[in-house]
Amino acid sequence: MLEVKNLSCGYGREKVVKDVSFTLPERGRLAVLGPNGCGKTTLLRGMTGFLPAEGAVTLDGADLLKMSPRERGRAVAELPQASAAWFAYTVMETVLMGRYAHLKPGLFSAPTRADREIAEDAIRRLGLWEERDRPLTRLSGGQLQRVLLARAFAQTPRVILLDEPTNHLDLKYQVELVRELKGWCAQPGHAALGVFHDLDLALNFADLVLLMEGGGAVYFGPADALPPQELSRVFGLDVPAYMRRSRARWERIGG
Ligand code: ADP
């Protein structure tokens, strides 16, 4: 469904992402992993046309990089990190912004009844109905992240891109967010790609992994077949051994 072919991009003349290729099938959930500074966020920026890029990014054959921002907005939504709200838009106003790419172009175009219904559905789906008229500045971090996910759902995209969406969230909200996303991805015509910091959470979310090092892809394939030696080498740590030790502690704590 989504195909990235030989993508290279960076800042100025410096190429940060180098010749990365992968495919994301319908209902696919891809985690982009790699150490700090290896180019994960830059890859997302190249895929969305935020940075000039070489190579190709296509969605069912349509060239994402050549689309207008509105066209792209109907195909791809982004779920950013929710650290804090800066603007006092209400929950409803924020989720309705997800419909922007679907409005008729023009100065006076307004959301239709159908747009409102889609936004309301997304708000209900994420359990935010009681908060719909509350300003974002009065929400908790967990609620704010759910509002941003509702906005992404209301955008009715094919693909959702996530950049470390759970960074500021308590474990409970991380788990909830991943569950909601997996539910969304299970629907026909949908897929998601996320940059994750937390390897545990990444494996919870993903069925596919793209492992990056120094701007290039060193592994792309099923999450279950991720080569442990490569993972450990790239992160400079025996990751599976670390995870096992951590798990052993939890076993001792019991519950
Ligand atoms: P990651 O998401 O894997 O931590 P990034 O994609 O953010 O990595 O960064 C990759 C490289 O690009 C880093 O060396 C970083 O310093 C550089 N970089 C990131 N953003 C910018 C920018 N706006 N201008 C110049 N260099 C940048």
What is the predicted pLDDT for the residue at 83?
Answer: 64
Close Cβ partners of 67 (under 8 Å, ≥ 6 residues apart): 49, 75
Choices 1.10.1040.10, 3.40.462.10, 3.30.365.10, 3.40.50.300: CATH for 2-84+157-253: 3.40.50.300
Q: For the chain, how many residues are written?
A: 255
What is the predicted pLDDT for the residue at 198?
Answer: 87
**What Å distances lie between residue 41 and 9, 122, 135, 147, CA to CA?**
11, 27, 29, 22
Report the distance separating Cα 246 and Cα 255, nearest Å: 15
Q: Which segments in the chain show pLDDT lower than 50? A: none
* d(CA 37, ligand 1 centre) in Å: 6
Please tell me the pTM assigned to this model: 0.92
Mutate to test the pocket of ligand 1, among 17, 41, 50 (most ligand atoms within 8 A of CB): 41
Q: Which residues line ligand 1 (CB under 6 A)?
A: 11, 16, 34, 36-42
Report the distance separating Cα 36 and Cα 190, nearest Å: 28
What is the predicted pLDDT for the residue at 217?
Answer: 97
Indicate the domain borders of the chain. Answer: 2-84+157-253
What is the predicted pLDDT for the residue at 111?
Answer: 84
* d(CA 105, ligand 1 centre) in Å: 34
Q: What are the pLDDT digits (tens) for 24-61?
A: 999 999 999 999 999 999 999 999 988 999 999 999 99
CA atoms within 13 A on the CB side of 81: 11
